[in-house]
Amino acid sequence: MRFSNDFLDEIRDRVPISAVVGRRVTWDRKKTNVSRGDYWACCPFHGEKSPSFHCEDRKGRYHCFGCGVSGDHFRFLTDLEGLSFPEAVQQIADMAGIAMPKADPQAERREKERTTLQDVMEMATQFFQDQLQTASGARARAYLRERGLSGRTIETFRLGYAPESRNALKEYLAGKGVPKEQIEACGLVRHGPDIPVSYDYFRDRIMFPILSSRDKVIAFGGRAMAPDAMAKYMNSPETELFHKGNVLFNFSRARRALQGAAGADTIIAVEGYMDVIALHQAGIENAVAPLGTALTENQLDLMWKMTPVPVLCFDGDGAGQRAAFRAVDLALPHLKPGRSVRFAMLPDGKDPDDLVKQDGRAPFDKVLSEARPLAEMLWVREAGGGQFDTPEKRAELEARMKQVVAVIADENVRRHYQQDVRDRLNAFFQPNQAARNERRGGFEPGNRGG
């Protein structure tokens, strides 16, 4: 039976690899760090007296530095226990509490169609890349140079150019034998009952391929070259391959950086494509971006699957602060022990691209080092700048804070937030001695003067 990648990813995400491996090994107490999901044991594949077998939940991988074996959940069961791949999948699915998919010819057909559509998207990506190097792509190349992008960075992100033509891509794909139904299914042309002749969806735009978690091109973002374009940035429409609210730009690359690059210990969410690309060029490869809209629950969940405390980076202006406050409400109901977010606020009028362009990564690293915990951002939102000079106003703030933290689903986290609120309110409303004296005319009880 063929299993979809989505199903395999889901059961891997739900079951820590340490839970699979831990049934066959004894973890070394001295080297293991459970809170970080970092485990060591004597290798079950070869005899040894000192632990050289490493298992890391964040990566979902194991590796023995003695004999060299490595793999994921399924490989461990097939290699060590001799299970077939379907049997290994069954065992992990049982641990995850997820029913095995039933044989579904229609689902298998859709999976095959998805693979075919990905092939078409790859052809479109190559077309856009080639167009960037033509005479018609000269303005786009100049723009990218002005933004400080190197040729290597352009190649890494496979940036391209959609020519100012109604049918350049459509004719190219048709010439390669791609049926119009597949071109339409990929969202590469505008079509419909009210459009007599379909035409290219992207025209005169710098193209940013959007990749799936498995590095397949599933959509595009396009930046208009014309200053009077209706939309400066636009994304592919929703398709079988692409659901905007479930995708983060640069997800797979950032995940690899988190797993392997020195110093990358969290995921950073920034606003747009160019921010991600500029940070990557400056050596910060663990950044992602939502696709032109506010962060969604699914996108936040994607980040939590990679790291327990991602950093959300916002502009320091009023719009950026309002976006940060919306993210507070988005995250609060889903907090769990050890799982939260932090907020990095950029200097007013600056974006990540600005910060790293002249002085490298140091200014942006400083912004990250000053990132605030969610509890502090919540307090800033509710109490910052307010006037609480009467008992009624103070009672109103207290009631509002209690109401906000009540949405936290996890009982333990909610209890600690309630305590944090009480502590902050007590400190905020506790008058100092000088203030008390001032209200009493400068006299302490029992001090009648003279």
- List the chain pLDDT tens, one digit each, 450 residues: 678 888 898 899 899 999 999 998 999 999 999 888 899 999 988 878 889 999 999 889 999 998 889 999 999 999 888 888 988 999 999 999 999 887 666 666 666 676 789 999 999 999 999 999 999 999 999 999 999 999 999 999 999 999 999 999 999 999 999 999 999 999 999 999 989 999 999 999 999 999 998 889 999 999 999 999 989 999 999 999 999 999 999 998 998 888 664 457 899 999 999 999 999 999 999 999 998 778 999 999 989 988 889 999 998 888 888 999 999 999 999 999 889 999 999 988 788 988 998 788 999 999 999 999 999 999 999 998 788 888 899 999 999 999 999 999 999 999 999 999 999 999 888 764 445 445 444 444 444 443
Q: Exposed, middle or buried by CB within 10 Å (0-12, 13-18, 19+), for 143?
A: middle
CB 337 within 8 A of CB 35: no
Closest C-alpha to 157, from 279, 5, 307, 296? 279
Rounded to two decimals, what is the model's pTM?
A: 0.76
**Range 251-379 classified under CATH 3.40.605.10:** no
Residue type present at position 57: D
Q: What are phi and psi of 194, to 5 degrees?
A: -95, 5
3-state helix, strand, coil in the chain (%, to 5): 50, 15, 40
CB 224 within 8 A of CB 231: yes
Homologous superfamily of 5-96: Zinc finger, CHC2-typedomain (3.90.580.10)
> In the Cβ-directed half-sphere of 378, how many Cα atoms lie within 13 Å?
28
CB atoms within 10 A of CB 368: 15
CB atoms within 10 A of CB 301: 12
Closest C-alpha to 296, from 326, 254, 325? 326
The DSSP call for residue 249 is: B
User: DSSP letter string over 299-364?
Assistant: HHHHHHHH-SS-EEEE-SSHHHHHHHHHHHHHHGGG-BTTB--EEEEPPTT--HHHHHHHHTTHHH
- Round to whole Å and give the CA distance between 95 and 82: 18
Residue 405 neighbours by CB under 8 Å, 6+ apart:
332, 378, 414, 417, 418, 421
- Round to whole Å and give the CA distance between 11 and 348: 43
CATH number for the domain whose boundaries are 112-242: 3.90.980.10
Long-range (24+ apart) CB contacts under 8 A made by 325-329 are 325/377, 325/381, 326/294, 327/294, 327/295, 328/374, 328/377, 328/378, 328/381
